[in-house]
Structures are given as C-alpha cells and as structure tokens.
Amino acid sequence: MYKLKNVTAILLGVFGLLVIFPSCHPNNTTTQLGDWQTRSEFNGVARSEAVSFTIGDSAFLATGYDGTNRLGDLWKYDPALNSWTQKADLPGTPRSAAVAFALNNKGYIGTGYDGANSLNDFWQFDPATNSWAKKANFAGTPRYDAVGFAVMGKGYISTGYDGNYTKDFWQYNDATDSWVAMTSFPGFKRSGAVAFVHDNKAYICTGNNNGATTTVNDLMVYDPTQPDGAYWTAKRQITNVSTDSYDDTYLDITRTNAAAFVIGDTAYIATGNSGSAITTCWAYIFAQDLWVKKTNFENSAREGAIGFTVSGRGYIATGRSGNSPFDDIMEFLPNAAYVANN
C-alpha cells in the first residue's frame, strides 16, 4: 500500500488514484520549438522517484520505487556511448523520494522513504573506486520529497515532507562532514519541488503545499555570495498574476513531482502532476526571468521522473503513470524542429 502524506494528499510522484493520459502531442506542438529524441532504455527495472547526479561526462541514476519494492541500485549513463553500466549498490536502506547531488567529484544521496519510515541517513559515492562511504546524517528531520543541490563547493537540502511540509535549509560541508542550519527558505513550504543550478546560483520552484498543486507559484533564487539574510531573492511568479502581458500564457507551469534540467542559459521543467500526470514543458530564460512554452515531452504523461544534464545535454528518464513505472529516457534538443515520435 502507498503511504499517505495526510488524509487528503497522496504521496507525490508515487501515487495516483486516477490518472488521465493526455495526448503526447497537442495541436499546437508544431508551433513550438524543441524535439525529444529517444535514447537507450535504462537497464535497471522500471521505476519512479529515483535520484540522479552528474560527475564529469557521466550521469548516475539510483534508488526509486518499482511499484512493489524500494530500490538501492546505482547505474551510470554514458551519453557518448548511449549506454548504461551498473555500479555498486547503495549500502543504506533502499528508498524512494530521496535527494542527490554531486560535490567535488563525488555523488551524495540522502533522506527518502523506505516504505514505512522517513530517512535522514547520508551517503557518498566515489566513482573512482566504485565505493560508498557513510557520512554524517542529515541534520534536519527525516523526510522525503525534499530538494538537494550543490553550488560553489557546498551541498544543500531544503523543503520536503516529514509529517509536515517544511522549508528549513541546510548546508553540507564535505571537508568537515558536517551540516549547518542556514536562514530558512523564504518561499512556501512544499514537497515534490524541483531545484536547478545556473551561474553559481540555485533555483527552487513548483511543488505541493498542504495538498495543493497549483498554488505554489513562487520562484526563489539562492546566491551563496550574498550575506546571511540576503541569500534568497524572489523572481517573478510562475502564474498569471501581474497586469503585464508577459505572464498571460502562464497557465500550466505550476505542478508537483516534475523533472528539471539546464542547458546553457536556460532551465527546462517538464512532466509532473497537476491534478493528473502531464507532459507539458516550459523553458526558463535566466537573463530575462521569463518562461516560454516548449514542445511537450514526447512520451507518456508521467510524474516522479528524473531530469539531469550531462555534457551540456538535457534528459528525462523513468517516472510513472498510475501504477505503471517507466524505464525510458529521452533527450531534449531545444533548438531542433519538432519531429513526431523519433
């Protein structure tokens, strides 16, 4: 059985009592720019709520939920060869809805849900030796559906669900293997958000707050070069709330359990849940603080997928619709003309 977050909310990215399967290609797809291309299927079992991190020219995918079991396996994706290689399993408890990031050529995985309990353990993966090391437990409350990222030589974990929705903010120092509580994330409490990094700044947006998937419309940026108390800055909201015209088309950016990646000077958010699993894809142009709709994800609507960037290329992999997990992976070519089903 799936674990409920509360009496009205379902575990984001893992559950859906009713899933509507919209068309992968709406009528206006051909007027939008960008093409999704199928890459080599993930070699492991199909899953949702996995995590990913990138080291050098390789991406790593780990953990997740296959509909029956939580998982602890780790796989390496080589985009040049378009192939997957299994690496050493995570020694800790198999889990879903964890966080991961890469820091100083090591990968880190922590928090998550094991099917009965929220977790706070924290692990380091060394690709040079294909080995794991136990690190200091995450200093916040055990939780799942949080976000994690690394920026300017430090790792961070924020938001998530620990029995309540959270927005505390923690910094990890790998040199001292220690955690420090930072000034709290100033946006809405949430779980199932996305985080992405560009130009030594980290961005958090989307997610679910107290069961609502459409009201979390803030976009916050973290700049570690600023003094304490001024780390966070609000960007324009991601719904149509202004009297200007720029956000008139912002109809379906908000969502939970989406996937995100960055290519060049643009971030992309696709898939997720907005009352049901969706395929829509939006591009965030950092320099303009504006969102532009792109070609929809060209496969089944899904939530609980992962997004990653490796060698300057952006991908979405795995995820689920209803009770059906996926093992596919697609690459987004943002400047290519749309070609159906390639």
> Which pairing describes strands 58-65 and 51-55: parallel, antiparallel, or unpaired?
antiparallel
Distance CA 179, CA 27 (A): 49
Distance CA 202, CA 100 (A): 14
pTM to 2 decimals? 0.90
User: Is residue 173 a contact partner of residue 154, using CB atoms and an 8 Å limit?
Assistant: yes
CA nearest neighbour of 330 among 41, 66, 26, 76: 41
Q: Which two tokens stand for residue 135?
A: 């690190």
Q: Cα separations (Å) of 70 from 27, 76, 137, 145?
A: 38, 19, 20, 14
Q: For residue range 320-342, what is the model confidence (pLDDT) as tens digits?
A: 999 999 999 999 999 998 888 76
Distance CA 114, CA 3 (A): 10
Domain at 29-333, CATH class: mainly beta
Q: pLDDT tens digits for the chain (342 residues)?
A: 333 333 333 333 333 333 333 334 343 334 578 999 999 999 999 999 999 999 999 999 999 999 999 999 999 999 999 999 999 999 999 999 999 999 999 999 999 999 999 999 999 999 999 999 999 999 999 999 999 999 999 999 999 999 999 999 999 999 999 999 999 999 999 999 999 999 999 999 999 998 877 779 999 999 999 988 899 999 999 999 999 999 999 999 999 999 999 999 999 999 999 999 999 999 999 999 999 999 999 999 999 999 999 999 999 999 999 999 999 999 999 999 888 876
Q: For residue range 230-266, what is the model confidence (pLDDT) as tens digits?
A: 999 999 999 999 999 999 999 999 999 999 999 999 9
